[in-house]
Structure formats: structure tokens, C-alpha cells
């Protein structure tokens, strides 16, 4: 990690705060919690990889920083960031990033709801990722500190029950949802509820996904902001 002065850090911090303020002004349909989650992960990552975030020189690398108690709009982002030198991307990259554009097409409401779901309710792309990593027993390539994050979320799921830090989902029709934020949180609950024979197979690394009937996987109760598609003409650029 490259060294930087406190003055430089203050300048970078103010740039990032300014970007967050502008983002929230441009997307008033997003509540504060959802905005913070997006800014602390993919959208914020696009900004932090841009030269505009630190006059072409700084990125902010993520480190875990869980809030002490789950809440709704009062929660801080789940990631804290440490500045280090980097440069990549542009403002156009940020605005046109598929990750960004997809997440802005939904209204997530003002408060989380308790949702009863199982893996059968997850869209196929996300479910494929869950199977690929054996529901958290393997690490996802390219995801920082993935194994530790899965273990931490399993511990939190066991402690908190349905008082989890809210997950962010989007309705995809036919009672299915796409995970917009909170993949590690949700997969921890699914692992916890797995039928005994499947959990044993997961832990031994011997699961045969072709033989798994997800309709028999017990559902779990989780707190979530559930995004509904914006009305035509309201879609955010």
C-alpha cells in the first residue's frame, strides 16, 4: 500500500463524500440504507477505481466493518475503506457499468420486510454461484477475504435469526429474486437451513447438485429490502 499524507487523505475523503452526495441527489428513489450499500460496494468501487476519485491517483480498498446492531436506515455501510494508490476507469465507466444501471431500475421502499425464501426463489445466475461455492464452503474467485466473510456471516446468522442486517433483493417475477447486495448474508442463512444430508455433503465437498431438489430445502426468514421495477419512464440512467 502506498503512503499518503493526512492532507491528501482529507482531500480524497471529501471527494468521496461529494460523490456520495451527488449520487443520492440523482437517485432520490433509493433510501439511505440501500444507497449506502450500493456506494460501499459495486457503485462505490467503480467510483474509487476512477481517476476522478483522487485526481487520478487513489483507490479505496475494502476492509470489513460490520455494524454492531442491525437496523434499517440508520446503518452505516458494511465496508470500510483504506486508501491506496491506483488509477483506472472514467466517469462514463461508472455511469454505464451494468452493475450500476441494473441496481438503479428498482424502488426498494423505505423499510425492510421479513421475507420467507429458500434457494428455489433465487434467480438461476445467483443460484449457480451459490452451488459453485458449495453455499459458502468454497471461496469465490476474485472476491476479497471471501472465506472469512462466509464464516463471519454464518456466525451472525446463528446469533441474529431474522434480525439480520437487511439484504437487498430485486423482484424478477415468478416469485424469484436477484441478490443485489448481501450475497454472503443470504447464503449463510441458506446454509444454516440446509437439510442435514445436504449439509453433510456440503461439508464433505461431495454434493451432487443434479440430485438436489431445492423445493425441499427449508425456507428461511430474512429481513430484506425488496426492489420492485420502477414504472416505465421512471428508470434511472
Q: Where are the alpha helices (DSSP H) in 106-145?
A: 124-132
pLDDT band at 101 (very low <50, low <70, confident <90, very high): confident
d(CA 71, CA 85): 34
Q: Tell me the Ramachandran region of residue 136: left when phi exceeds 0, alpha when psi lies from -120 to 50, beta otherwise.
A: left
CATH class, domain 106-229, is alpha beta
The domain locations on the chain are: 6-103, 106-229
Q: Tell me the three state secondary structure of residue 220.
A: strand
CB 100 within 8 A of CB 49: no
- 4, three cell numbers: 499518503
Q: Tell me the three state secondary structure of residue 49.
A: coil
The pLDDT tens digits of the residues spanning 147-173 come to 888 999 999 999 988 888 999 999 999
The pLDDT tens digits of the residues spanning 35-86 come to 888 877 766 555 555 555 543 333 333 333 333 333 333 433 343 333 333 3
The pLDDT tens digits of the residues spanning 193-219 come to 999 999 999 999 999 999 999 999 999
Amino acid at each position: 500500500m502506498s503512503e499518503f499524507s493526512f492532507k491528501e487523505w482529507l482531500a480524497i475523503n471529501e471527494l468521496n463524500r461529494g460523490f456520495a452526495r451527488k449520487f443520492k441527489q440523482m437517485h432520490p428513489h433509493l433510501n439511505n440504507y440501500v444507497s449506502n450499500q450500493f456506494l460501499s460496494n459495486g457503485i462505490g468501487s467503480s467510483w474509487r477505481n476512477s481517476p476522478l476519485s483522487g485526481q487520478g491517483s487513489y483507490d479505496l480498498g475494502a476492509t470489513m466493518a460490520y455494524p454492531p446492531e442491525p437496523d434499517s436506515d440508520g446503518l452505516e455501510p458494511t465496508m470500510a475503506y483504506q486508501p491506496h494508490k491506483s488509477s483506472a476507469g472514467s466517469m462514463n465507466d461508472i455511469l454505464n457499468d451494468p452493475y450500476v444501471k441494473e441496481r438503479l431500475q428498482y424502488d426498494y421502499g423505505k423499510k425492510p420486510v421479513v421475507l420467507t425464501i429458500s434457494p428455489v426463489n433465487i434467480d438461476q445466475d445467483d443460484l449457480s454461484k451459490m452451488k459453485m461455492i458449495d453455499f459458502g464452503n468454497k471461496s469465490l474467485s476474485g472476491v476479497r477475504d471471501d472465506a472469512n466473510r462466509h464464516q463471519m456471516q454464518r456466525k451472525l446468522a446463528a446469533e441474529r435469526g431474522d434480525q439480520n442486517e437487511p439484504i437487498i433483493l430485486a423482484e424478477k417475477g415468478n416469485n424469484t429474486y436477484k441478490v443485489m447486495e448481501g450475497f454472503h448474508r443470504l447464503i449463510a442463512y441458506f446454509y444454516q437451513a440446509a437439510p442435514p444430508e445436504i449439509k453433510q455433503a456440503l461439508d464433505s465437498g461431495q454434493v451432487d447438485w443434479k440430485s438436489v431438489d431445492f423445493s425441499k430445502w427449508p425456507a428461511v426468514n430474512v429481513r430484506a429490502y425488496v426492489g420492485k421495477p420502477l414504472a416505465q419512464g421512471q428508470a434511472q440512467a
